Amino acid sequence: MGDRKSALVISAHAADFVWRCGGAIALHQKLGYEVTVVCLSYGERGESARLWKDGKTLTEVKSIRRKEAESAAKALDVHDIQFFDLGDYPLVVDEQNKMRLVDVLRAVQPDFMLSHSKYDPYNTDHMYTSELALEVRMIAQAWGHNPGEKVLGAPQLYLFEPHQTEQMGWKPDVFLDITEVWDQKRAAIECMEGQHHLWEYYTNVAENRGNHFRRNSGGQSGGRPAKYAEGFQSVFPRTVDEL
């Protein structure tokens, strides 16, 4: 792999990667990573109420959602975005598409992965995707799966922030300063025309996490003046040289 650095985002619906880790995507692209985003569904049934109220058909809703996600990905400088179009509410991934996702992991060889929280009673598509991310990571590491292919190493899986955070048992242990790429994230957010109600919500989340970054990077005695941040929960122990 040499000096190539990469990351993989597994997003249940076409907008999730924007709200929850758009800053991480844009920042790591600037740092030289190739970030691949996989959208398992367009969120056409459960996360497109505005479009349905406007009288759009299923085909139209999916087309609109795809264009929104592609525009958002462009705003974030995403290296590659892939759409599996597996449907939502409920999201169901069959064996063929599970193996398809394993193939993506082995092709990307991510240094780290991003996906949903382990628990989300408001949207079971999200926690299903989290379990899927862990399962395909495990399969991609197996030497006996498609012998001869390059196996996956042991990338960290970061769980991004869910909606209604307090109800999810999600506890962030990593805060990422996204201030320098905030304009990109906000531009990506505004690509999601079908979910206007979330624009200010996730702006507020980023501001609150900025405050948490400041407090945890030194507070009033010298913390970095981050204005916007994203929080993540790591699944596996992190090995570091400096704290």
User: How much is the average pLDDT of 52-61?
Assistant: 96
% residues pLDDT > 90 (the chain): 90
Regarding predicted confidence, which is higher, 222 or 116? Answer: 116
| pLDDT of 164 over the 70 cut | yes
Query: Considering the entire predicted model, what is its pTM?
Result: 0.95
What dotted CATH number matches 5-234? 3.40.50.10320
User: Residue 233 corresponds to which tokens in the numbers above?
Assistant: 């929960």
Residues, the chain: 243
Confidence of residue 243 (pLDDT cuts 50, 70, 90): low
The domain spans of the chain are: 5-234
* Pairwise CA distance, residues 52 & 45, whole Å: 9
pLDDT of residue 1: 42
Q: Residue 38: exposed, middle, or buried by beta-carbon count in 10 A (0-12, 13-18, 19+)?
A: buried
Residues 6+ apart with CB under 8 A from 4: 34
What is the per-residue pLDDT across 166-225, written as a single tens digit (0 to 9) for each? 899 999 999 999 999 999 999 999 999 888 889 999 999 999 999 999 999 987 767 889
